[in-house]
Chain A
Amino acid sequence: MSFQLGIFNTYTPVVTLVGGAGNTVPVYATNIGRWTKIGNMVWLQLYFTGDGGAEGAGTGVLNFSLPITSAATQPVFRVMAGYMYNATATASVAYADLNAGATSVTIRRATDPSAVPASANGNNQSNTAREIRFNLVYEV
Chain B
Amino acid sequence: MARTGLLNDMAYEAVNWNNYTPTVTLVGGAGNTVPVYTTNTGRWSRTGKLVNVEIYLTGDGGNEGAGSGILTIALPFTSGANQATSYVAAGILNNNVTFGYVLAQVAASTSVVSLGYFSAASTFIAAPGSIQNNTTRTIRMNFWYEAV
Contacts and interface: CB of A to CB of B under 8 A. Distances in A.
Interface stretch (A19-27, A57-65, A69-77, A90-98): A90-98
Nearest to B104: A135
A28 to B, nearest CB: 12
B12 A39 contact: yes
Interface in B100-131: 101, 103, 116, 118, 121-124
Contacts of B50: 6, 8, 36, 38, 43
B11 interface: yes
29 contacts: A5-B14, A6-B11, A6-B46, A7-B48, A8-B82, A34-B84, A34-B146, A36-B48, A38-B7, A38-B48, A39-B7, A39-B12, A45-B84, A47-B84, A47-B85, A80-B101, A82-B88, A82-B89, A83-B87, A83-B88, A83-B89, A83-B103, A89-B123, A133-B84, A133-B86, A133-B88, A135-B86, A135-B89, A135-B144
Interface of A: 4-8, 10, 32, 34, 36, 38-40, 43, 45-47, 79-83, 85, 89-94, 111-113, 133-135, 137
